[in-house]
């Protein structure tokens, strides 16, 4: 029995060839609350609403996502059982599959209910990093839940805006090794979930690919993918409604539209913390500086169309 509606039984190879393409990046916290991981998180419903709105607006979609809370939970589970650890690259790959399955299942149901023809494809994506990257000696990437008690002695921990969390190495992405596969799926009309959790970190040498103990920043790899695919629109969807300077102070200011020059100056003034807004601003700047014609936006889930119209979020100009 065929349980897939006939209109979606196979991909339309030519459907999206003339569509504008959007890369939509969402953080792992929108998929699992790092403070109370067992409580429902409504942000995913807003993310899926954004995806549907963008489809209705005529965009082809490539979606990336974080995995900080989820990969940390997997490490906790692994450590509770003891034995030989699998390594962070293994758990990044695992969470690409589990999170991708969750998003794809919910999105497929929404698309079917609203009589859209697209299918969702989740692609395990490998990303090359440099073994000499200084990040391996200076872990900065928060993973897992907020630490409420004394952490294990072998963890590296850091204070974040939400509280104390475990941190791991986060090398800069050099090359997305599965770009051709992403292009093929997108060109075939699929909504592609790629580079989940920043991509599976690998070292490349004359003997092949080797997984490495790290988690790549989702925003930086999303920017690299947006540039590699030469997308028309790059959106970072996050928990705050816009980029702000003097954040949390009396003279806090929302940046609704900001030039590359001004945003780079704010970045160099250390306006954006490394563990939160810093990588997002860096990712947006990289994309806009390398691809000036690309529309580059930061907004909160549910605000994608409003941000495109300039009514919400922050737009780089």
DSSP secondary structure letters along 170-214: -PPP-EETTHHHHHHHHHTT-EEE-SGGG-EEEEEETTEEEE-S-
> CA 225, CA 179: separation in Å to the nearest integer?
8
| Confidence (pLDDT) at 80 | 75
Residue 103 in tokens: 């998003």
Q: Does residue 37 register a pLDDT over 60?
A: no
Is residue 180 included in any domain, yes or no?
yes
Does residue 153 fall inside a structural domain?
Answer: no
Confidence of residue 2 (pLDDT cuts 50, 70, 90): very low
> pLDDT category, 201, cuts 50, 70, 90?
very high
The pLDDT value given to residue 266:
93
Strand pairing class (243-245; 253-255): antiparallel
Over the stretch 256-266, which tens digit does the pLDDT of each residue have? 999 999 999 99
**Residue 155 included in any domain:** no
Q: What is the pLDDT of residue 166?
A: 84
Integer Cα distance of 232 and 194 in angstroms: 17
What's residue 77's pLDDT?
81
DSSP, res 138? S
High-pLDDT (> 70) share of the chain, %: 89
pLDDT recorded at residue 300:
94
Average of pLDDT values for 206-226? Answer: 93
* CA-derived radius of gyration, the chain: 19
Nearest to 294, CA basis, from 271, 270, 267, 315: 315
pLDDT exceeds 90 at position 30:
no
CB–CB of 51/68 below 8 Å?
Answer: no
pLDDT tens readout for residues 282-316: 999 999 999 999 999 999 999 999 999 999 999 99
Domain count, the chain: 1
pLDDT at res. 258: 95
pLDDT in tens, 160-177: 877 888 888 999 999 999
Q: Model pTM?
A: 0.87
Please report which helix (H) or strand (E) contains residue 280, including its range: helix 277-290
State the pLDDT at residue 5.
Answer: 38
Res 83: pLDDT: 64
pLDDT at 141: 83
pLDDT band for position 9 (cuts 50, 70, 90): very low
Is 137 contained in some domain? no
Helices (H), 57-87: 68-81
Query: Residue 308 has what pLDDT?
Result: 96
Closest alpha carbon to 31 in 120, 94, 111, 98: 98
Beta strand pairing status for 164-168 and 157-159?
Answer: antiparallel
Whether residue 12 has pLDDT greater than 50: no
CATH code, domain with 50: 3.40.1160.10
Residue 291, domain extent: 18-130+171-316
The residue among 133, 131, 165, 134 whose CA lies nearest residue 148 is 165
Q: Is the pLDDT reported for residue 274 higher than 80? A: no
Q: What is the pLDDT of residue 86?
A: 77
Average pLDDT score over residue span 30-49: 68
Sign for the pseudo-dihedral over CA of 56, 101, 140, 240: positive
Q: 105: which strand partners?
A: none
Instruction: Give residue 32's pLDDT band: very low, low, confident or very high (50, 70, 90).
Output: low
Calculate mean pLDDT across residues 29-36: 57
Q: Pseudo-torsion of CA 240, 245, 248, 253, nearest 10°?
A: -90
> 4 in a domain, yes or no?
no
Q: Token pair of 238, please?
A: 């996050």
Q: Is residue 145 domain-resident?
A: no
> Per the domain annotation, does 69 fall within a domain?
yes
- Residue 1 is assigned to a structural domain of this protein: no
Res. 3: pLDDT tops 50: no
Active site (catalytic) residues: 28-29, 141, 218, 280
């Amino acid at each position: 029995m065929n349980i897939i509606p006939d209109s979606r039984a196979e991909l339309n190879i030519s459907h999206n060839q003339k569509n504008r393409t959007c890369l939509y990046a969402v953080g792992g916290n929108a998929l699992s609350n790092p403070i109370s991981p067992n409580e429902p998180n409504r942000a995913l419903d807003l993310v899926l609403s954004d995806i549907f709105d963008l489809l209705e607006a005529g965009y082809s979609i490539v979606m990336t996502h974080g995995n900080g809370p989820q990969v940390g939970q997997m490490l906790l589970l692994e450590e509770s059982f003891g034995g030989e650890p699998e390594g962070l690259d293994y758990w990044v790959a695992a969470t690409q599959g589990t999170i991708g399955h969750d998003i794809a299942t919910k999105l497929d149901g929404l698309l079917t209910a609203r009589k859209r023809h697209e299918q969702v494809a989740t692609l395990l994506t490998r990303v090359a990093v440099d073994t000499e990257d200084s990040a391996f000696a200076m872990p900065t990437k928060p993973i897992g839940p907020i630490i409420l008690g004394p952490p294990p002695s072998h963890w590296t921990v850091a204070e974040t805006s939400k509280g104390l969390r475990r941190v791991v190495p986060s090398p800069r992405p050099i090359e997305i090794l599965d770009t051709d596969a992403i292009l093929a799926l997108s060109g075939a009309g699929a909504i592609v979930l790629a580079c989940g959790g920043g991509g599976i970190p690998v070292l490349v040498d004359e003997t092949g690919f080797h997984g490495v103990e790290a988690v790549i920043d989702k925003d930086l790899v999303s920017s690299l993918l947006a540039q590699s695919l030469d997308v028309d629109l790059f959106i970072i969807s996050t928990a705050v409604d816009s980029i702000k300077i003097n954040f949390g102070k009396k003279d806090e200011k929302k940046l609704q539209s900001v030039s590359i020059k001004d945003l780079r100056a704010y970045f160099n003034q250390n306006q954006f913390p490394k563990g939160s807004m810093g990588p997002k601003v860096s990712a947006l700047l990289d994309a806009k500086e390398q691809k000036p014609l690309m529309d580059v936006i930061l907004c909160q889930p549910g605000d994608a169309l409003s941000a495109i119209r300039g009514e919400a979020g922050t737009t780089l100009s």
